[in-house]
């Protein structure tokens, strides 16, 4: 749901009025409400977080230097957004976010949106420019149905897609290119128990 041009700007109170289980976001003064995501979406986000957090946040032997959160509520100027996964470099955010606050006001260095039919347009058309405006350095779009990963980096005035991967491939995707990432681990197995290319 979004508000028409003649309505007053959406507020956090509008998000609080949403039914239980709905995710509310405010982008350009409009409220967007989405149902909880489907299994394939949740699986891709959870597995991606696990694959990145172990070497980049939790391991004492890996490359380290990151904080990761699943579905953080970001308050960026007047906008409220909830990316699927977000990461902050420790050089910019030396300590993890305040555990008592339900939101973060520091834009991440990297984030990932997992595309769903109900959020695909919002993620691409509304949120990508917002993330660029707020200084996010790189972002990923994962489509669990198409089994694809799009990697974007900041250009001079907008995002530039630097990499595109599909299927069951092992990739080195920026900004985590030091880690080979098996995309097949993100996809939901098809009927018969195997992931299809």
Which domain covers residue 163, as residue numbers? Answer: 37-185
Structurally, the chain folds into a number of domains equal to 1
Write the pLDDT tens digit of every residue in 98-144. Answer: 889 999 999 999 999 999 998 999 999 999 999 999 999 999 999 99
| Domain assignment present for 1 | no
| Domain assignment present for 14 | no
| Domain assignment present for 102 | yes
- Looking at the chain, the whole-number percentage of residues with pLDDT higher than 70 is 93
Exposure string of 42-73, with b = 16+ CB inside 10 Å and e = fewer, is: bbbbebbbebbbebbbeeeeeeeebbbbbebb
| Domain assignment present for 191 | no
| Domain assignment present for 193 | no
- Looking at the chain, the whole-number percentage of residues with pLDDT higher than 90 is 81
Write the pLDDT tens digit of every residue in 7-22. Answer: 799 999 999 999 998 9
| Domain assignment present for 99 | yes
Question: Which band of pLDDT confidence, cut at 50, 70 and 90, is reported for residue 58?
Answer: confident
Looking up residue 86, the CATH number of its domain turns out to be 3.90.1570.10
| Domain assignment present for 169 | yes
- Global pTM reads 0.89
| Domain assignment present for 88 | yes
Among 40, 87, 46, smallest CA distance to 195 is for 40
């Amino acid at each position: 749901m979004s508000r028409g041009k003649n309505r007053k700007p959406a507020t956090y109170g509008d998000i609080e009025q949403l039914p239980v289980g709905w995710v509310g976001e405010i982008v350009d003064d409009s409220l967007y409400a989405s149902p909880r995501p489907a299994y394939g979406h949740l699986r891709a986000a959870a597995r991606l977080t696990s694959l990145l957090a172990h070497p980049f946040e939790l391991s004492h032997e890996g490359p380290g230097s990151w904080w990761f959160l699943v579905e953080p509520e970001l308050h960026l100027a007047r906008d409220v957004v909830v990316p699927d996964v977000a990461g902050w470099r420790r050089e910019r955010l030396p300590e993890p976010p305040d555990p008592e606050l339900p939101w973060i006001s520091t834009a991440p260095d990297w984030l990932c949106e997992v595309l769903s039919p109900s959020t695909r347009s919002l993620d691409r058309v509304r949120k990508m420019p917002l993330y660029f405006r707020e200084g996010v350095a790189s972002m990923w779009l994962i489509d669990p149905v198409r089994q694809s990963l799009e990697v974007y980096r900041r250009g001079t005035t907008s995002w530039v897609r630097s990499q595109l991967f599909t299927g069951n491939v092992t990739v080195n995707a920026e900004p985590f290119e030091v880690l080979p990432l098996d995309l097949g681990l993100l996809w939901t197995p098809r009927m018969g128990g195997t992931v299809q290319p």
